[in-house]
Homo-oligomer: A and B are copies of this chain.
Amino acid sequence: MIILFTDFGLGGPYLGQVKAVLARLAPGKTVIDLFSDAPSCRPQESAYLLAAYAEEFPPGSVFLAVVDPGVGGARPPVAVLIDGRWFVGPGNGLFEPLLRRGHQVEGFRLIPSPTARLSASFHGRDLFAPAAARLALAGRAAAGMEPFSLPRFQEWPDDLSRVVYIDHFGNALTGLRANCLAPGTLLEIGGERLSRLRTFGDAPPGGAFWYENANGLAEIAVNMGNASQALKISIGDIVGISTT
C-alpha cells in the first residue's frame, strides 16, 4: 500500500500526475490519499500530523510525503525505513518526529535517475513518486538510493504545542499526543481554557472542550459547533498547557 501525504491541495493536477506515475511504475498497488491538504509549506506542523496518522498503517506500507517549500533548493531527497514502514520525501524535518519515536531506523538519500527528467519545481512527480513506486513494488534494491545520515532537527520538541490541522468540521488538531498530557490538563487557545472530555456528546451544545481524537492527538472541538470559527483558531496557533 502506498499512502500519500501532501500539501498539493485537493484541486489541480498534482495528485493525479503523481498517481499516474505510481500506476505506471507500481501497477496494481493500492494508493490511499491520507492527507492532500497537509499544512501548506509548513514541514514542522505537517511532521507531527504525519507521525500521528502513520501509526495505524501496517509494516510494509510506503508513505509518499511531500510538503516541500524548498523544492529545487538544497534539502536532500530522502527515504527512511522506520520500524518496517517506508517514508519517501524531502529531508526538511517532515520525518523528524517519526525518527525520534522509531526504534529501528535506516536512512537513505535518493539518487535521481540520470535518464529521467527532473523538473525544478515538481520533485513529487519526478523523483519521490518513482522511488516510492519502486520501493512498494520491488523493495529497496530497486529504488535508486544510498545509505545516508539524515539531517536531524534536534531543537524540535517531542510534541508540538501548536495547531497542526483544522478539519472540515472546524475541529483543531494539535501536535500533542493526548496520552502524554497529565490528567487534569487544560489547553488554552483563543483566550479560553478547555477541559478534557471523552467525546462530543459529553459537552453541552456550543461548549468547547478538548479530547483524544481517533488517532491519539489532543483535538479542540465544540459540540454541535465549529471550534475554528468560535475560537478564531488558525493553523500554527500556539496551544497553552496548564493544569487545574
Q: Which residues of A contact B (CB under 8 A)?
A: 1, 3, 7-17, 19-20, 23-24, 27, 30, 32-37, 40-41, 53, 56-58, 69-73, 119-122, 125-126, 165, 167-169, 198-201, 211, 213-215, 224
Contacts and interface: CB of A to CB of B under 8 A. Distances in A.
A6 to B, nearest CB: 10
B36 A19 contact: no
20 contacts: A10-B11, A11-B36, A12-B168, A13-B215, A14-B167, A14-B168, A16-B32, A16-B33, A17-B34, A19-B32, A37-B168, A40-B168, A40-B169, A69-B224, A72-B198, A119-B214, A120-B199, A120-B211, A120-B214, A121-B199
A132 to B, nearest CB: 16
Nearest to A21: B56
Given A36-B11, A168-B12, A211 B121 contact: yes
Contacts of A32: 16, 19-20, 23
Q: Could you tell me the dominant secondary structure of chain A's interface residues?
A: loop
B168 A10 contact: yes
Nearest to A69: B224
A198 B120 CA distance: 7
Contacts of A121: 199-200, 211, 213-214
Contacts of A169: 9, 40-41
Given A19-B32, A73-B201, A213-B121, A53 B13 contact: yes
Contacts of A56: 17, 20
Nearest to A56: B17
A41 B225 CA distance: 10
